């Protein structure tokens, strides 16, 4: 159920730990399909959302061509509010590329997970997605990263690889 006064939110899926599956036989992580529709359904989300999968890759494998695909889709989207699910390792690089792309008037939030959603209750993906959607609706135009219940301007954040948390610079 959506409400007519709810502006469209575009979600672009790029992969990352958020959407990884676990092969219980080999112990390897892999990509199949995005979990976003299931998560939004479980969260009883009533926002007007359009989900588009751009790619399903680990962010360490993401290159400039992949970032150009993300930028192109953000530019052509009619939505003023865009959420991008992304791997946490190179989220900052993509945020920087978006900031350089002249996307004035758009609020773009990148979020991800440290633990795959497929791992159930131990995943931070559900919480990060909900927080990112809330921030997306209230922040002014710009590029942001939302993780661990906090939001950061793209140029004022880093992933602390020792703790696994994002923090202000």
Report in angstroms the alpha-carbon separations of 164 from 17, 58, 75, 115. 13, 17, 31, 10
Residues 168 and 159: their CA atoms lie apart, in Å, by: 9
pTM of the model: 0.87
When comparing pLDDT for 76 and 18, which is higher? 76
pLDDT 10s digits, 40-88: 888 898 899 999 999 988 888 899 999 999 999 999 999 999 999 998 8
Residue 91: both structure tokens together: 């989220």
Q: What is the 3-state secondary structure (H, E, C) of 23-36?
A: CCCCCCEEECCCCH
pLDDT 10s digits, 108-165: 999 998 775 665 666 777 788 999 999 999 999 999 999 999 999 999 999 998 998 8
Decide: 8 and 103 in contact? Cβ < 8 Å.
Answer: no
- Burial (CB < 10 A; 0-12, 13-18, 19+), residue 27, is exposed
> What pLDDT is recorded for position 140?
97
């Amino acid at each position: 159920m959506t409400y007519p006064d709810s502006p469209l939110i575009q979600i672009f899926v790029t992969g990352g730990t958020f959407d990884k599956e676990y092969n219980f036989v080999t112990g390897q992580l892999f990509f199949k399909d995005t979990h976003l529709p299931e998560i939004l359904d479980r969260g009883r989300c009533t926002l007007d959302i359009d989900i588009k999968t751009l790619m399903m890759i680990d962010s360490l494998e993401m290159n400039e061509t992949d970032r150009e695909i993300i930028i192109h889709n953000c530019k052509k989207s009619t939505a003023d509010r865009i959420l991008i699910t992304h791997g946490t390792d190179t989220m900052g690089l993509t945020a920087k590329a978006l900031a350089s792309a002249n996307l004035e008037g758009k609020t773009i939030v990148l979020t991800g997970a440290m633990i795959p959603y497929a791992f159930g209750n131990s995943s931070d993906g559900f919480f990060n997605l909900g927080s990112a959607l809330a921030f997306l609706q209230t922040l002014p135009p710009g590029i942001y990263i939302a993780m661990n219940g906090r939001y950061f301007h793209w140029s004022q954040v880093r992933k602390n690889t020792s703790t696994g948390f994002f923090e202000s610079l």
